[in-house]
Amino acid sequence: MFDADDVRSIALSFPETSEKERWGHPTFDVAGKMFVTVPDDETSFAVRCPRFDREELIAAEPHKFWVPQHEAASAWVRVRLAELEDRRELRDILLDSWRQAAPSRLTE
């Protein structure tokens, strides 16, 4: 099973990523834009996700992806760490969010 340290080590491996505490828990930015947060209980993490894609993810794998009511209007989705298949899936999800936040000079 994965934990916040796994999220941290992968997130910090991406170019120009930094860790910053917000709301009392770790968040990760690329070039000043947040792309992942790890809530207090550390059983999940939140990443950027366009709303249309988010609804498809939740419908396909509701045990893995969800959105708390207070975040329904945002373009973020939460991911349950215990439901991830392997480290590659964790990395792919984090990398997708990083790419959404990163400036084009880093993604080209």
Q: What is the CATH number of domain 4-107?
A: 3.90.1150.30
SS3 at position 28: strand
The token duo for 52 is 């249309």
Separation of first and last alpha carbons in the chain:
33
CA dist 15 and 12 (Å) reads: 8
Specify the pairing of strand 33-37 against strand 76-80.
unpaired
What share of the chain has pLDDT > 70, as a percent?
Answer: 100
Task: Please give the model's pTM, rounded to 2 decimal places.
Answer: 0.94
Domain ranges in the chain?
4-107
- Residue 108 pLDDT > 90, yes or no? no
Q: Report angle CA 41, 101, 96 to the nearest 5 degrees.
A: 70
Give the mean pLDDT of 55-76. Answer: 94
pLDDT grade for 42, boundaries at 50, 70 and 90 = confident
Residue 13 half-sphere exposure, CB side, CA atoms within 13 Å? 11
The token duo for 32 is 């000043």
